[in-house]
Amino acid sequence: MAKFLGTRVLHSGIALIGLILAVFFLVRLTGDPTDLYLPIDASLETRKEFAHKHGFDRSAVEQFLVFLKDVSQGDLGYSLRKQRPAMELVLEAYPTTLRLAGVAMTLSIALAIVVGSIAAYRPGGVFDRISSMASLAGASAPDFWIAITGILLFAVTFRWLPTSGVGGIEYWVLPIVVLMLRPFGLMVQVVRASMLGALSSAYVKTARAKGVGESAIIFVHALRNAGLSVITVAGDLTVGLINGAVIVETVFGWPGVGKLMIDSVIQRDFPTVQAAVMVTAMAIFLLNIVIDLLYVALDPRIRHQ
């Protein structure tokens, strides 16, 4: 198992370095921040002083080397907009994103397991056909389209829900529903396919012959053996959910790290963008490690790889 996890850590580390490198140079293609943060009539001396203070008068390679040095010391720089440590801003916004993504993913997994298992129990039945069509529709629809349609229908037309912001439970409904539709739709299909194979296996027939109840067969015996593929897809979808929260947070004005990242890109706040990407990448890295540990728990053969 140590070799398996070591390989995963090495691969994730290489990917993290490549991501940091790409983001650092690509974000600088958006333009010179001096044009945004100083008045149009600012003097040449003022512009040079601003550029020198933030290192923009150096080449991109020199800026990157300084950035690596600062990162090694735990310093991700100061936000150009807020004049506060960039990491501080990201860590303030991240809990809001994690709560939103966590609730959406938990509901998606729980509902998908129930719906997919029931659909697999009677394949070809009415419930199976309806759930398959609904799950495929949810998995195919773009997040931004669902979000805009939801606002138009439930916030503007019927005035049942707020259009944006954070507050009571009514503010959570639309963002959570939009975020969970795609993972729910994909998970239903995965659970159904895995359960069909598990329910037709020999150990399930043996359990039925011993008089084990159908609910125990479905949700204990069959689901446990179908769990590896479910966890595989759930892990990938969770990673995608964190990234997909950028769109949802922007549409609904949700004050999470996704909206912070978009605002920082628009306003050329390079340190905040870099800090947000690094924290998000590290969160995904740790999430993948947790998923790998779950693999080991469900499939002991991995321990010997």
Domain count, the chain: 2
In a domain, 79, yes or no: no
Q: Are residues 41 and 182 in the same domain?
A: no
67 in the same domain as 212: no
Give the range among 106-115, 154-163, 167-176, 228-237 with minimum mean pLDDT: 228-237
Is residue 112 domain-shared with residue 260, that is, in the same domain? yes
Answer yes or no: is pLDDT of 301 > 70: no
Residue 1 has a CB neighbour count (10 Å cut-off) of 14
For position 179, which CATH number holds? 1.10.3720.10
Determine, yes or no, domain membership for 128.
yes
Domain boundary among the residues 72, 104, 132 is at 72
What pLDDT sits at residue 299?
A: 61
13 with 132, same domain: the answer is no
Name the more confident of 228 and 305. Answer: 228
Q: 105 and 46, same structural domain?
A: no
Query: Is residue 219 predicted with pLDDT exceeding 80?
Result: no
Q: Among 21, 38, 72, where does a domain finish? A: 72
Indicate if 145 and 231 belong to the same structural domain.
yes
- Mark which of 48, 72, 96 sits at the end of a domain: 72
Domain that holds residue 235: 87-300
Q: Are residues 45 and 93 in the same domain?
A: no
pLDDT at residue 206, rounded to an integer: 76
Position 14 scores a pLDDT of 83
Span 195-221, mean pLDDT? Answer: 73
Q: Answer whether 76's CB lies under 8 Å from 275's CB.
A: yes
pTM of the model: 0.77
For residues 92 and 152, membership in a common domain is answered with yes
Query: With helix as H, strand as E and coil as C, how does the chain read?
Result: CHHHHHHHHHHHHHHHHHHHHHHHHHHHHHCCCHHHHCCCCCCHHHHHHHHHHHCCCCCHHHHHHHHHHHHHCCCCCECCCCCCEHHHHHHHHHHHHHHHHHHHHHHHHHHHHHHHHHHHHCCCCHHHHHHHHHHHHHHHCCHHHHHHHHHHHHHHHCCCCCCCCCCCCHHHHHHHHHHHHHHHHHHHHHHHHHHHHHHCCHHHHHHHHCCCCHHHHHHHHHHHHCHHHHHHHHHHHHHHHHHHHHHHHHHHCCCCHHHHHHHHHHCCCHHHHHHHHHHHHHHHHHHHHHHHHHHHHHCHHHHHC
* pLDDT at 89 exceeding the cut of 70: yes
In degrees and rounded to multiples of 5, residue 90 shows phi and psi of: -65, -45
Residue 303 confidence (pLDDT) above 60: no
pLDDT for 152 equals 92
Of all residues in the chain, the percent with pLDDT exceeding 90 is 5
Looking at the fold, whether 120 and 29 belong to one and the same domain comes out as no
2-27 and 60-72 are packed helices; what angle lies between their axes, rounded to 10 degrees? 140
Residue 217 pLDDT > 80, yes or no?
no
Mean pLDDT of the chain: 82
Query: Do the domain assignments include residue 179?
Result: yes
Domain membership of residue 52 (yes or no) is yes
Contact 219, 144 (CB under 8 A): no
pLDDT of 83 over the 70 cut: yes
Higher pLDDT among residues 304 and 225, named by residue = 225
Asked whether residue 81 is assigned to any structural domain, the reply reads no
